[in-house]
């Protein structure tokens, strides 16, 4: 009788621990997803598209690295050149360039 009581107590305890483990894992997953969503929302530019906020028409400028759109896709802009600051919230790098994520600068695709 005592063995049966101990076995059922252990079984109930194991079930409680397993159930708690699942809920803790679910809670951690929910917190992780929420943190990721908040981080991505904070990283997004505050897009307030009005034509008044755009620079004058690009035909007035000479864009040596090409023309593109700003990160909000509101305005036409001149693309950035080599060694210019770049990142997800910046104007894109020009033709033949890429954004080096370590240095945060536009670099030539042909550089080693």
Can you tell me the distance from the alpha carbon of 75 to that of 55, in angstroms, rounded to the nearest whole number? 8
For the segment 77-98, what is each residue's pLDDT rounded down to a tens digit? 899 999 999 998 888 999 999 9
Collect all residues with Cβ–Cβ distance below 8 Å to 99 and sequence separation of at least 6. 86, 87, 90, 92, 93, 105, 106, 107
Q: What predicted TM-score, i.e. pTM, was given to this entire model?
A: 0.51
Task: Please give the pLDDT value at position 51.
Answer: 63
DSSP 8-state class, residue 99: E
User: What number of CA atoms fall less than 13 Å from residue 90's CA on the CB side?
Assistant: 17
Task: Please give the pLDDT value at position 25.
Answer: 58
Taking 50 as the pLDDT cut, the residues of the chain under it are: 4-5, 10, 13, 17, 26-28, 31, 33-34, 36-42
Can you tell me the distance from the alpha carbon of 65 to that of 12, in angstroms, rounded to the nearest whole number? 69
């Amino acid at each position: 009788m005592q063995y049966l009581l101990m076995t059922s107590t252990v079984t109930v305890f194991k079930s409680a621990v397993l159930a708690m483990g699942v809920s803790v894992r679910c809670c951690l997953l929910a917190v992780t997803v929420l943190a990721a969503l908040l981080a991505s929302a904070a990283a997004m530019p505050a897009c307030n598209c009005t034509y008044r906020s755009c620079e004058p028409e690009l035909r007035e400028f000479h864009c040596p690295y090409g023309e593109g759109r700003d990160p909000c896709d509101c305005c036409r802009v001149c693309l950035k050149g080599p060694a210019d600051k770049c990142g997800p919230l910046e104007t894109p790098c020009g033709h033949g360039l890429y954004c080096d994520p370590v240095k945060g600068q536009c670099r030539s695709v042909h550089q080693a």
